[in-house]
Amino acid sequence: MSPPQSTAASSLRRRPIQAAALVVIALVLIIAVRIAPAKNATVETIAALGFLMLAGTLLSELLEPLGLPHITGYLLCGLLSGPHVLGLIAPSVVVGLAPVNTIALALIALAGGAELRIDGLRKNRRSLTWATLLQHLVVPLAAGTALFLISPWTAFAGLPRATVLGIAVLWGTLAASRSPAVLLGVFSELRPKGPLASFSLAFVMFSDLVVIVMMAVAIALVQPLFDPSMALSLQEIRELGFDMLGSVTLGGCVGIVLAIYFRLTERSHLILLFAVSVGLSELIRYVHFDSLLCFLVAGFVVANFSEQGPKLLEAIHQTGILVFAVFFAVAGAKVDLTLLGEMGLVAVGLCLVRALATYFSARASSAIANDEPTVRTWAFAPLISQAGLTIGLTEVVARAFPSISGPFRALSLAAVAIHEFVGPVLLKTALVRAGEVTKPTRL
């Protein structure tokens, strides 16, 4: 028997064992929750963390023969065990996992910055330029127009048309956001190499910086539409400029410190990354800087202005399951199926409009830039997912406009839930079909 066949047979024999182990783990947690509920919040959080890591890994392995990415397994694990389905993990525990989630997001951003290379940006500059222009013009326009037209059948019915127009502008801007976490999660599993992978990484990272600026500008512009007595204010834009400059500066300094440390020592890299992620995240929260941008810049500095990039990536890859399983399992636990039921039809319609606008914009920009065939065909696939950044921007909008915070947040979270489950599958499909996957996989 050839080695690939032997490996496949061995993998097939493991499936019943993995399924049985998953059932046993779930039953143990069910019994623990029903019979002896934890009274110590710390113990309960640690138990939930262990369960999500182990159960998420087993479920992702079981789903792999179906061609689903590991991220989908993590999301399903969180959804099924979360407070909105089986209730194995209480809402308070999901909140208690926030610090771990913060560490995971910091490491994901560090990895994203370390994967961005100046030579790659130069090589893809024509593609990036046209994709940035079209994606950030066509998608917001299409998504915003769609919401404006269907507003009589949403929770925004009855509001003044000027207010609905402002909501549409905000929604359109939100639609342009992507998910670096999903991209890096799938990349970590498949280790793709090729033009599609290179373009996807560069565009998604840069796109989110553009969207952050766009949202600040949009909030400033639509304020008079919500309250005619308010004059147009550029205060938010000035604050954004200060925050971004501070984030870049702090991230650059952290990158220099990390590069020096990695050069001077060969040990304790992982411990350092955890310490930096926790400490710096708290500092960033205190000074109101952007954590994604800060860690992204830190990783970029290490990879492009020192020789320590491979060491940084290797240290982050060692966290593997901890980073992505926890991050996406917690995201799955936050998905409210009741909310999806209430907002489902509207959210699905808006997601379809966004997907079509993304697809045609990607095709047009690739044609203009004369991209390689695989990029022309699949460039839209990495741009469908939404996750942490979209939720963060939703909260910014909710704070700026409390009068619409409830329905706007509900609609956004419903759309994010749809994108979280569809996007990773589409991205894996694209990378496999493009022939850029370097690790064995099935589809």
Of 269, 293, 291, nearest in space to 280 by CA:
291
Rounded Cα distance, 193 and 118, in Å: 17
Structure tokens at 41: 């919040």
> Is CATH 1.20.1530.20 correct for 103-433?
yes
What pLDDT score was predicted for residue 316? 79
Q: Which residues lie below 8 Å from residue 241, measured CB to CB, with a gap of 6+?
A: none
* Cβ atoms 324, 104 nearer than 8 A: yes
Domain boundaries, the chain: 103-433
Check residue 42 and give its pLDDT. Answer: 66
- The rounded distance, in Å, linking the Cα atoms of 168 and 159 is 12
What local confidence, expressed as pLDDT, does residue 7 receive?
46
Give dist(CA 159, CA 286) in Å, integer.
36
Say if residues 361 and 134 touch (Cβ distance below 8 Å): yes
What was the pLDDT predicted at 84? 78
pLDDT in single tens digits along all 443 residues of the chain:
444 444 444 555 666 766 676 666 666 666 665 555 555 566 677 777 777 777 777 788 787 777 788 888 888 888 888 887 777 787 877 777 777 777 777 888 888 788 778 887 888 888 899 999 999 999 999 999 999 999 888 888 888 998 999 999 999 999 999 888 888 888 878 888 889 988 998 898 888 778 888 888 888 888 888 877 666 666 666 776 787 888 889 889 989 988 898 888 877 677 778 778 777 877 887 777 777 788 888 888 998 988 888 888 888 777 766 777 777 888 888 777 776 666 778 889 999 999 999 999 999 999 999 988 999 999 999 999 987 778 888 888 888 888 888 888 888 888 888 888 898 999 999 999 998 887 655 44
Q: How far is CA 165 from the centre of its chain?
A: 28
Output the CA angle 94-95-100, nearest 5 degrees: 80
Distance CA 239, CA 293 (A): 15
The pLDDT of residue 368? 93
What pLDDT, on the 0 to 100 scale, is given for residue 442? 45
What pLDDT, on a 0 to 100 scale, did the predictor assign at position 383?
92
